[in-house]
Each structure stands twice: as C-alpha cells, then as structure tokens.
Structure 1
Amino acid sequence: HAEPLKNVKEPVRIYEVITNSNEIEPLNLVSQKPGRTVQNKSIAVLPFVNMSNDQDQEYFSDGMAEEIINSLSHLKDLKVAGRTSSFQFKGKNVDLRQLAKKLGVSTVLEGSIRKQGSTIRVTAQLIKVQDGFNLWSERYDRDVGDIFAIQDEISLAITEKLKITLLENDRDKITKTYTQNTEAYELYLKGRFFINRRGASILTGIQCFQKAIELDSDFALAYAGLADALSLSASWGLVKPRLVMGKVKQSAEKAIQLAPLLCEPYCSLGFYYNFFERNWKEAKKNFLKSIELNPRYPQAHYLYGWDYLSWVEGDFGEAEKHGEMAIKLEPLSAICYAIYAQILIAAGKFKEGLDLCKIGIELDANSFLCHLGEGNCYTGLQQYEEAIGSYQNAIRISNGHHFSLSALMWTYSISGDVEKAHVLFNQLKEKSEKEYVTNTLIGLSSAYLGDFDEAFNYFQKGYDDPEPFLLSLKYGTWVPSSLKADPRYKELLKTISFPNKIMQPELEA
C-alpha cells in the first residue's frame, strides 16, 4: 500500500499502488519525451470524486477539475498536465508517485464534490508528490451558486502555495467568470462532459450548449463549446456538414465577440474556413491565433497539423511538429496519438504511425480512432490480415461507423477479396439510405470496385456538401492509383483549388 499522506486534514482518497510492468514508454520519434522531465512548478489536477448519491452528477465533479485545469493553464510559470492525461486515472487506484512520473509533475490536486439540491461540499488538497506532504487542503460548504468563487479560491491557493508570481492580467484570467447563471454553467459542464466522450455523445453535448445559451445569451464559453461540438459532429461524420457549417461560424464569432482571449473559438473558426469555405488564409490565420492565445491547447495543435498542414499544404514536416506538441501536452491522450498517427500516415510513414496507434490503444482500448489508424497503417504496410482485425475492432467499438466499414471494404478490395468488398459496399449503400454517410467515402469505395463514374458523382456531392474528408483526396494514401490516373481526378483537385505553395497567412499585428 501507499504510505499514508502526512498533514492531511481530511483525506479524499488514498491511492493504492498498482505496479504495471507494461508501463507506457514514450516513442523515440517524439523528440521531447512526455512524462519524463519533472518541473518544480508543475501540477496535475485529478478528476474530483463524485460523492453525490446521483451518478448523473459525474459531469459536475469532472467539470470542476476541468475548469481549474483551464484557469491554471493560463499561467506561463506553471506546467499543468492536460485534461485528458489527468483524467486517464479516473476511477483507478494508482500510486501518486507513478502518476506524477507519467505526467511529469511535482504536485497533485485531488478533491471531491457532494452535491445535494442547492448545496455543495467541496474538499480539495494539494499534495507534494515526492514526500506525500499536504501543502494545502480546504473544505467548502456553500450554496451551489458559489461554485465560481470556490474554483477561484482553489486556483489562487495553488498559485500561492507553489509561489507562482501573478501578473495583473494573470489574476484576471484565472478568476474570470463567464456567467452568473449556475443552471447555464451546469449545462455547459454537461456539454463538455458529453463531447469529451466523442461519438454520438457529441450530439447530446450540442443540446446542452444550446440550452445553456437559452438561459444566458452572453455566455461566451457555451458559444465556444457549441462551435467545437458542431465542428466535431461534422468531422466525425455524424451530420451533413451543410446543416451545421453556418452555425459553427456564428457561434465561434459570438464567443470571440464576448471573450476575445478565448482560444477555442479561433480553433473552431480555423476548422470552418479549412473545410467549409476552403479559405486557406483564414484557416491558417485562425488556427495560429488559437495557438498564440494558448500554446498549451492540444486540439489547436493537432487540428492545425492534421486538417491544415497535412491535408491542405502537404507540409508534413511542420505538421509532425504540431503532432508532437499535442502529445507533449497530453502524454496520456489516445486521441492525440491517433491524430499524430494520421499525420504520419498521410506522409507514408506507416511503421511510425503504427507504433503511435499501439500506444494509444494501450492508453484506451476503446479508442475508435486508434484502431482505425492501426488498420490504415497495416494496410499501408501490406499486412492485410492484421488490418482486417484492426478494422473489425473499430467497427465493433463504433457500432458500425461508416469510416471503419469503408476502410475495411477498401482493404478487402486491395487484398483481392472482391466478394467481401462487394458485400460491405452494399452495406454502406444501405446505411446511407437510413442515415448520413460521407459521400466521399462512398465515392472512394465505388472507385475500388472500378466504377469511376459513380465515384466522381459522389465526390461532387462531397464537394457540394462540403465534406471535410474530401480534402484527404490529395494526400490520402488510400486513394487508388488508378483513380489518380483519371483526368477527372486532377480536375477535382483544381476545383478544390488547393494552394500550390506553402501559404503565409496575413496575421494581424
């Protein structure tokens, strides 16, 4: 068992040691190895334990920790472990020293929340990992409306105990309250909780953000969350992009108007311009603005690297740097490994991509994107049996998502099992009659079966919609070479009007 913590007023939970010989070692290709250099002024905020009788209050305890992470991450002198990496330990008994070593931090904040009606009890404690010493602990018995004040007090207590020098605007950033409406705030936390689960939960998240905005029409975070969720719904192929594109732009711009220093809405605008308007200068400018406002926001790094640098410019060297940065910020996030792997796949580096996907699967065995990427890599390495196994896992995890169905169909076609390819193609077509299926993927599937006329009809639909996946046709390693030889392929790329050189955005002074 772990040693008892010293000087603890009210222990929240003692973590038991569980040794895992299979400890995740970072890859050599990640230049700065994640989770190895421990900085003195560094912290991991663990998900707060939900002590309420109602398990549905989980979003509230998760949200509390996430908001503290967000406010502390504005401080340049403090290294803060990313949300996904810290939440990797949720509900697990782990030794704090092991945890801190993996995250590269010297202190850990843990806490609990009990919410009953309109009252909450929050306990929090800051622990120095090296000797288990309790640097600070507090218990708050308050009205639920005081949640913002409690978050501020905890964040400020941490900066004081870790001797972080606060500049005037630092204090403003970490104590900024975006709404006084606690019901709207709870809906916002619920929305974040659902979109973090990805998949169809994103649609539930959208509803939560919309309800929050109905309650407070000046709630910048809810607009930012809505723009993010709508972008995700399009990129995951959950909805027809045309149905959400206008709302992505409108929500992101409203968030920026209300809170110009928020980084998330700029990232959503980058996504919007990249895929929906195909306005490359604006896409690049907004992605970079998001990174400038918060260099520690991993989503801006991996989306800029994957969606823009890889698919639009084909600047894989620069894209890889942003993929690495996302992993450095979130060393235990499966999605960061999955998306960095996609950057490597587009560059034809299948072996390196495969290594990343395997780490991602170790971190989260149910990561749809990691299993999908693993299949892409095996296909690229011509290890078709292994690829088929990976895609079957992705299909099982995602309840038959059309991304994985189409990828499996292509692999059957490439490996010569035309009969199975036809069966899956028919399944895809049937699926598209009941729900939205990305036209570009049906087009590629048609091309694998040799029907180029049908393929280009679907590409046209993908162009008109406009579908994010269409942009992968230029650098996607899954595009059949026979399709590239068709003159209509070059015409299509010309119509998409990819930049013919690396673009320099006109950044505002």
Structure 2
Amino acid sequence: EIDQRSDIYSLGVILYEMATGRVPFEGETPLGIAMKHKSEEPQDPREINSQIPEDLSNLILRCMEKDKEKRYQSAGELRSELVTMEKGLPTTKRIHPDIEPKAKTISKIKWKNSIAVLPFSDLSPQKDQEYFCDGMTEDIITKLSRIAELKVISRTSAMRYKRTDKDIKEIGEELGVATILEGSIRKERDNIRVTAQLINVEDGFHLWADTYNRKLESVFEVQDEVSKVIAEVLEIKLTPKKMEALKATRPKNVDAYEYVLKGVYITNSKYIISHREKDFKSAVKIFNKAVKIDPEYPLAYTGLNWAYQHHNQITGSKKYIPLVIKNSEKAYELDQNLADSNAMKAWIYYLGRDYAQSYHYYKRALEIDPNRGILNHVVGIFYQSIGLIHQAIDYLSRAVELDPFYIVAHSYRSKLLIYLKEFKKAENSIEKAMEVEPDNFWSLVDKCLLYIMKEKIEKAEKLLGRVEKINPGYSIIPYYKSIIFAVKGDKNRALALKKNGLIYSLLSMKDKAIKYIEDQANKDYEHYQYSYLLLKNSPFYDNLRDDARFKEIIRKQKQKYEERLKKFGDI
C-alpha cells in the first residue's frame, strides 16, 4: 500500500546519492536493483564518505527503512528532525517508542579531538616500577576522560599496547584517535622523572614534549600539569570548573596512593587473567594497607570494590557483596564528586531494584566523567535492565568506541541488536569484536544466537558444540540448546533444559507462554526479555502474534515503555 511514507523512502534514496555520490543499490537489470531495494540494507553512508555527519547518515537510513512503521511517518516529522539537527540539538529527546532510532545520540557535546594514553615505560634502575607506570597511565586517562569534548581511549584498550612494536600511526588508526600521549618514568626512592610527549597520529609530529623532575609527593601536580597542557595543545578551553574537575582526590599520605596503584595492578594484571585466589587475596591485602594508612582516601575503598566485584564475577560467589555495599557507602561519604563513588552508589540501588535512585547516581557519575568506557558500559546494562533497549545500545556503542578492546561491551550490544532483528548491524558488531580478538568466546556465543534467530540451526549447533568445548560449564549453553530443540520441535528435550515464555512460544504452547509472559509483565520491572521492544520485535514470539491476549500484553508493555522513556530516557 502506497502512502506518504513511500515518498519518504524515495527522498531517502535521493539524499543518499547526494551525500555519497553513489546510488544505494546497483545491479545489472532494473529488476535486480528493485529486488535489492526490497530485501537488502543499504551501506551506511558514513562508510562511503566519513565527512557526513552521523545524525544525517542515520536520518537517511531511517528514511530508507524496509518497514514503513520505522520510517518517518510524515514530511513534517522529517522536517522537524532536520531543523533540530541543524540547530545541533541532541536527538535523544525525540525518540519515539515505535521507531527504532539509528544514531548513538547520547553525547550532548561533540568530541573536538581524540587521544590515547599509551602505557608509560619503566626506566627505573631495577625495572620494578611497572605498577607505578601503569598507575600514572590510568590516572592521566581518568583525568582526561572528565573533559567532555575529548574522546579518551580507556585503560583496557590502551594497555594492549604495552611494549608494542607498532608505530604511532598504526596504533592511532586501530584506536580511532588523532593524537597519542606516550612517556616514561624513572623512579628512585622518593624522586621521579617523568617524560611525556604528545604526538599527532597523521604525520608523527610532536605537538608537545616535556620532562618533570619532582619529588614523589608531587606526582599529582605532574598529572594535573600534563592533563592541562594536553587540553591547551588540543585547543580545548578549560573553565575554572573543568580545571577543578581535573584534580583527583588526593591521599594525606603518598604511600596510600602507591598501595592503591599496586592493588589495582595486581587485580588487573594478575587476578583478572589468572583467576587465582591467591592473587585476589594479595590485591585485597594491599588495598587494606592503603585504608589503614589513610582511612579517608576514597580510592582505597573503590579499589577494594574493584577486586571484590571481579571476584564475584569470576567465582559466582556473592559473599563479598555486603563488603562492596559498605565500601561504596564509605567512598561516597568521603567524596560525593567522584565518578566511581557515584557509580557504586548507583549499583547498590540497582541491586535493590530501586531504578529511580540508580538512574540519579549514574547520571551524576556521567556528569563527572562522561568519557569513561566502563561507566558507559554499566549505564548500558542499566538501560537494558529496564527495557530501554535503544538507549542501552547507544551507551554500549559509546563504551565500544572508548574501549574497543573491551569485548564484553561488544557482546552486550550484539545480543540486543540480534533480539531487535537488526541482523546486519549485529553481524557488523560481532565482526568488529572478532577483529579485535579473533574467535573470542563472547563473540562465538553471540554468533550462535544469531544463527538460531536466522534459523540456521545446523550452523548454530556446530558453533554451540565448539563453545561447549571451550567452556563446558557456561550457564547459557543449556538455554541455547533448549531454544534449538524448541525451534526443531523437540518438545521433551527443550522443556527438560528450560521452561519459560520464550521456549513455550517456540513450541506453540500458547496458553503456557501467555501465562508466563503475563506474570513477567505484571512485575514492576520485568526481565528485559519480556520488555516491550523485545516482545514486539523478536521472532521467538511470532507464534503468539495473532493471539488477542498477546496483543494486549504488547499494548500494556508499550505503556510501561513510554512511561520509562519519559522518566529515564535522557540520562
């Protein structure tokens, strides 16, 4: 049926050609081109012409959506979007519940420049100061990430280049940054010598370089000076408020700072990799020394929580959660203007399912430190939990951009794209993760889900077998097996592994499926699998779509979705 939305598609085609210099689809015959318009997704215009503004690229793609319901619904709506775009306003404020937005619309201030801080080299005589060098690297990253206009690559990705033989241009291209900061530290007793240079990726030109000879207790001043001069060289104006934000919380005793650096180093460089209990206990012991020396140093408590949280994730044990809560409260009491203390406070409320308070503290954390990769990641998980899937994808995408080697963020984003039937985007997301870490476990699991969703069951079974060999105890394996059995119609084997609304739906057990989903939907905050957008888009519920009861569930879930969008849609 032809209506005004057909004209909007045609306008999208015209805009596509104007912006890229190419037609969206080519073929040997007019029929072949027409079939591509009907069945294929156009290439993102920005992949052809990187100068196209991201908002304009997303507008063009939305005009060309295959599903008319996802296009702009009128010329007036499209014009409004163009006018708002011209004014430079964030598009998050105009997200419509039934329309799947295309853009990462979370950034209120566009990045004016970008930087990666490479691990500082240890030039100390004994070569025993790696923890201090890593700490200096991370502290400068943390300071710079507080500058909203500056894209700063997160620690996880930066540390991949420790002792690398790659040149600056190659590193810059891999991380998607225009500048690189590299340096070295020589530490003897309480004397430090810090050398740093800021390099332009494109031509290798040294934009700035300096050497600082200081006493150890002056390390914080060095960090402040380096951060300030980088902002000046990159022509980012620092207001007095921004200057104040660059100053980290400082301990009364520099030894406490050193112990925190050592604890973080053991956690990140040993325990997270080895999963050995002795490494965990060693990190905790070091952090507790920092607490003993300076009980009013908040980073000692956030450091302890960093170790405890990873222990919870690695072992599945919840025994340290009471300590995490206690440390979070203490850190917040000591410094309410620390991004970490606000994020931990948000996490406590998240655990208690008080999402309004959780939202409040995550918002404050992002105001303090908008460009921290891991912070954007956990905000993405928060949004996933309350069913605001587009916002979740936005923040997870930003986490990936800030921390391209953090595979977990790639995985969360890929899964959500799969559930929304954004298969092409999901494939691209998985491929990017594979480029970063070939055949990584997370992406193999995501690819398995994609095969299931696209009904490529033989490929899914083969890949799931491979996943099981890598990690036989992984909790998701029985669930995916159950889905595969359900898709194949093997009722007994499917139900032996899992019983929920999704499995009942695949098996056409409508009454049980509806009952299960209704029970979930009646909760204040249902599992995200039963939130509005997933119920609306996931093919797993196609067997229920003609049932009036399911339609009523969708209607009620849409109302909840719209209410949450108004309440939490713009952090």
Q: Are residue 224 (structure 1) and residue 302 (structure 2) matched?
A: yes
Tell me which of 143, 150, 153 is aligned to 1:81. Answer: 153
What residue identity is the alignment partner of 2:341? P
Counterparts of 1:86 and 1:416, CA distance in 2: 45
The verdict on how the C-alpha distance between 1:80 and 1:405 changes in structure 2, with shifts beyond 3 A counting, is same
Contact 1:375 1:391 in 2 (8 A): yes
Bigger radius of gyration among the two:
2
**Worse overlay, 162-171 or 498-507:** 498-507
Tell me which of 286, 310, 315 is aligned to 1:238. Answer: 315
Counterparts of 2:391 and 2:151, CA distance in 1: 24
Q: Are residue 271 (structure 1) and residue 343 (structure 2) matched?
A: no
Contact 1:262 1:293 in 2 (8 A): yes
Match of 2:357 in 1: 282
Q: Are residue 208 (structure 1) and residue 283 (structure 2) matched?
A: yes
Match of 2:415 in 1: 342
Q: Are residue 136 (structure 1) and residue 136 (structure 2) matched?
A: no
What residue identity is the alignment partner of 1:474? Y
SS, match of residue 402 in structure 1: coil
Q: Are residue 365 (structure 1) and residue 441 (structure 2) matched?
A: no
Tell me which of 172, 179, 186 is aligned to 2:261. Answer: 186
Equivalenced residue count is 433
Q: More helix by proportion, 1 or 2?
A: 2
Counterparts of 2:468 and 2:217, CA distance in 1: 43
Q: Are residue 159 (structure 1) and residue 231 (structure 2) matched?
A: yes
Contact 2:371 2:402 in 1 (8 A): yes
* CA offset digits 1:462-481 (Å, max 9, x no partner): x9xxxxxx945635899987
Match of 2:82 in 1: none
Counterparts of 1:222 and 1:186, CA distance in 2: 9
Q: Are residue 406 (structure 1) and residue 481 (structure 2) matched?
A: no
Counterparts of 1:394 and 1:202, CA distance in 2: 25
Tell me which of 285, 288, 311 is aligned to 2:385. Answer: 311
Q: Are residue 48 (structure 1) and residue 120 (structure 2) matched?
A: yes
Contact 2:449 2:480 in 1 (8 A): no
Counterparts of 1:86 and 1:323, CA distance in 2: 18
SS, match of residue 315 in structure 2: coil
RMSD: 4.8
Match of 1:294 in 2: 369
The verdict on how the C-alpha distance between 1:79 and 1:405 changes in structure 2, with shifts beyond 3 A counting, is closer
Q: Are residue 322 (structure 1) and residue 378 (structure 2) matched?
A: no
What residue identity is the alignment partner of 1:310? Q
Q: Are residue 68 (structure 1) and residue 140 (structure 2) matched?
A: yes
Match of 1:261 in 2: 337
**Worse overlay, 498-507 or 43-52:** 498-507
Compute the displacement of 1:328 (Å): 3.7
Unaligned runs of 5+ in 1: 1-24, 426-441, 451-458, 464-469, 485-489
What residue identity is the alignment partner of 1:81? I
The verdict on how the C-alpha distance between 1:384 and 1:99 changes in structure 2, with shifts beyond 3 A counting, is same
Counterparts of 1:183 and 1:367, CA distance in 2: 34
Match of 1:429 in 2: none
Match of 1:386 in 2: 459
SS, match of residue 183 in structure 2: strand
The verdict on how the C-alpha distance between 1:208 and 1:39 changes in structure 2, with shifts beyond 3 A counting, is same
The verdict on how the C-alpha distance between 1:82 and 1:506 changes in structure 2, with shifts beyond 3 A counting, is closer
* CA offset digits 1:256-277 (Å, max 9, x no partner): 2212122223333333333x31
Q: State the TM-score, normalized to the length of structure 2.
A: 0.61
Compute the displacement of 1:125 (Å): 1.4
Contact 2:112 2:149 in 1 (8 A): no
* CA offset digits 1:50-74 (Å, max 9, x no partner): 4568787544333321110111122
Match of 1:18 in 2: none
Tell me which of 471, 474, 479 is aligned to 2:530. Answer: 474
The verdict on how the C-alpha distance between 1:499 and 1:177 changes in structure 2, with shifts beyond 3 A counting, is same
Contact 1:31 1:324 in 2 (8 A): no
The verdict on how the C-alpha distance between 1:171 and 1:291 changes in structure 2, with shifts beyond 3 A counting, is closer
The verdict on how the C-alpha distance between 1:130 and 1:308 changes in structure 2, with shifts beyond 3 A counting, is closer
* CA offset digits 1:145-200 (Å, max 9, x no partner): 54434323322332344454333233333232432324323234325624994783
Compute the displacement of 1:341 (Å): 1.4
Contact 2:111 2:149 in 1 (8 A): no
